[in-house]
Structure 1
Amino acid sequence: MTDSTTRDLVARYVGVWGLAEAGERRKAIETLWVESGTHVLQPPEEIRTAAAGLGFVASTLEATGYDELEARVARTYEEFVAGGEYSFRPGAYAVRLKDVVRFDWEMVATASGEVVGGGQEVLMVGADQRIVADYQFPNP
Structure 2
Amino acid sequence: MTEQLIERYVRVWNLPSDDERRAEVERIWAPGAVQYTPENRHDDLYRRVTDAYRELVADGKYRFVPTGTAHAHHDSVLFTVDMLATDTGESTWRGEIFLLLDADGRVRLDYQYNLT
Write the letter of the residue equivalent to 1:133.
Answer: L
- 2:35 alignment partner, one of 25, 33, 39: 39
Q: What amino acid is aligned across from residue 127 of structure 1 in structure 2?
A: A
Deviations 1:37-70 (A, max 9, x none): 1111xxxxxxxxxxxxxxxxxxxx3211110000
- When Rg is computed on C-alpha atoms for both structures, the one with the higher figure is 1
Q: Give the corresponding residue for 1:133.
A: 109
Q: Does 1:86 align with 2:62?
A: yes
Could you tell me how far apart the structure 2 residues matched to 1:39 and 1:62 are?
8
Q: Distance in 2 between matches of 1:93 and 1:38?
A: 24
Aligned counterpart, 1:57: none
Residue 10 (structure 1) aligned to one of 6, 9, 22? 6
1:47 corresponding residue in structure 2: none
Q: Tell whether 2:42 aligns with 1:66.
A: yes
Gaps of 5+ in 1: 41-60
Cα RMSD for the two superposed structures: 0.9
In structure 2, the gaps of 5 or more residues are none
1:19 aligns with 2:18: no
* Secondary structure of 2:99 counterpart: strand
Identity of aligned residues (%): 36
Q: TM-score, normalised by structure 1?
A: 0.80
Shift of 1:28: 0.4
With CA pairs under 8 Å and 6+ residues apart, which has the higher RCO, 1 or 2?
A: 1
